[in-house]
Amino acid sequence: MCGIAGILSVRTSNELSNHIQAMQGALSHRGPDDSGIYLSNISGDRQSALAHTRLSILDLSAAGHQPMSTTDGRYTITFNGEIYNFQDLRKELISQGEIFKSQTDTEIILKLYQKLGRECVTKLRGMFAFAIWDELEKTCFIARDPLGIKPLYYWHSNQTLVFASELRAVIASGLPPINLNLAGLYGYLTTGSVPEPHTLIADIQCLEAGNWLYWQEGNLTKYQYWQLDFTPEQISLADAQVKVRQALKESIKYHFISDVPVGIFLSGGIDSTAILALATEITSSQLSTYSIAFAKPEWNEGVLAQKAANHFGAKHTEFQVDCTFAKSVLPDFLASIDQPTIDGFNTFCVSKVAHDNGMKVVLSGLGGDEIFGGYKSFQSIPQMMKWGRRLNKLPYVSQALASGLQHWGNTSKLNRISDFLNNPPTFASAYKNFRGIFSHSEAIAIIQSLTKSNYLPSPKLSNFNDDRITPTDQVSLLELSSYMRNQLLRDSDVMSMRWGLELRVPFVDRTLIESVASIPSHMRLAQSKQLLTASIPEIPEWIVNQPKRGFSFPFASWMQTDFGDYFMNLDIPKEIPLDSWYRRWSLAILKHWLAQVGL
């Protein structure tokens, strides 16, 4: 895992070197082990510049240096991520006569592109964002992995393309104008993260998961090469359990491929314990696990994590987080944020623990809830849709109820429910209500207060309804493409990379998801993740039977004590209630980020 950046232009420029060095500097935290810059046709026509910062995981030698070029110098790649099936691909390519100079997965991508062109992405199993420059044709191919584990941001204007692993690096190039993107801001205020393809900077976009870009003569083409398919198959429950176990075990085996030790983030929940259970079966060496804990029992899952580690014979490291420690690292956390988010502090802290104990690679249970129905949304949203459709047949009743809610109590929850009732019932609107932060009208009021503009986005919500799949599959699709991708994966990438740590997610694996997505939803998404726990009976009952609760920090109490300096004077309309900790947190993070980028 690393940091990548690039600048492409049809106009020659001697300033490319300065711009790309600034971008590389903004990504230095992502690659503490090595760095490199490539400038095309140094003797004359400089049309491309590529940069790389390296966190060495595979082939720790100088042979893994990037940007990496083919022997003839035609193709040059800068790559961030891991290709887990690279050894299989390497054997296949060697049988076809290819000769390799390194033991890296980077060189595999380069060779595949030489042979297959843009179709190379269909062969790759892993997490990735990469760019390949063709010096002969003066073209560039840029791709992001199917599920959006690795980020890629870009700005395209006047035939110039700037791209990087983080938004801050695109800004650091000095080429895009820095103006606030109000659509991205609206998305952040209503969901707690900036939804792709938006960013908070106008005209800088996030390349959507499962898409590639092709730059040629200043023109940019975008193509979606992968999307999720929930078409069900005929399968028995017993066979479904076998399928899940085999798919997850294979994924974990691939995710352990590394030339440095691999640890596990252990929360005491089902997903991370499932990874530990199967990893114990896969490897003979003692595993290292890491978690954070709290002094107060109502917040602390550390006891269960320690108990699970002992149960499977892992060496466990726990760090107890209190308000004093949290406040001491808060400035560093704020400086690490690439885009505002209401999440990420937990990953920042546990990544620091792993880093301080010498780890460079860790596995996380992220993704298990989205695939196996671990959230309350899988019950709540279909129920909301049921009632919403009934009320929609009585529009006057629905509108009256929506209006009544606004008068009965000015609370965050009632305001979002009113939003739902004021619009045609769709799974997207129900999901937005369930996961929402501020309501539509509240978000507009905040934007207008912050920007002194008359910004009025369309109140119409996304019309996502796919009657070809079941209601719970629709929720799963929304969780995978919204909450997981825009918030959990993005925060995990940024906060782990702050500590030079590669975070791998075995549940978020294309091959695994393609395999289990065909299991009918009444099995795969049965309440309490019954299919997953039945597939891995090694998970102890005291893990399986514990009440489900999301992992979070005691922010509400902290913001009223030691954190107070950071969370006052938020400058929003007084009529907007801040009755939830995440509302105050989201505004404070936004305020800091805007000051940080000079907006």
Characterise 575 by phi-psi region: left (phi > 0), alpha (psi -120 to 50), beta (else).
Answer: alpha
Beta bridge partners of 201: 180
The CA-based angle 306-311-314, given to 5 degrees, is 70
**SS3 letters across 439-453:** CHHHHHHHHHHHHCC
Strand partners, 137: none
Q: Side by side, which strands form the sheet with 204-206?
A: 34-39, 48-54, 2-8, 160-164, 153-157, 204-206
- Residues whose CB falls within 8 Å of the CB of residue 436, separated by 6 or more in sequence, listed in order: 190, 191, 416, 419
Please say whether the beta carbons of 213 and 234 come within 8 A.
Answer: no
Q: Catalytic site residue 2? A: yes
What would the two tokens of residue 509 be?
């694996």
Helix count (H) and strand count (E) of the chain?
24, 17
DSSP per position, 31-68: -BSEEEEEESSTTS---EEEEEEE---S--SGGG-SSE
Given the residues 2, 120, 140, 349, select the one marked as catalytic.
2
Enumerate residues 6+ apart whose C-beta is below 8 A from 319: 291, 292, 293, 349, 350, 353
Q: Looking at residue 99, what DSSP letter applies?
A: -
Closest residue by Cα to residue 561 from 299, 296, 322: 322
- Tell me whether strands 219-224 and 211-216 are parallel, antiparallel or unpaired: antiparallel
Contacts of 338 (CB under 8 A, 6+ apart): 166, 167, 168, 490, 494
Q: Which residues have a catalytic role annotated?
A: 2
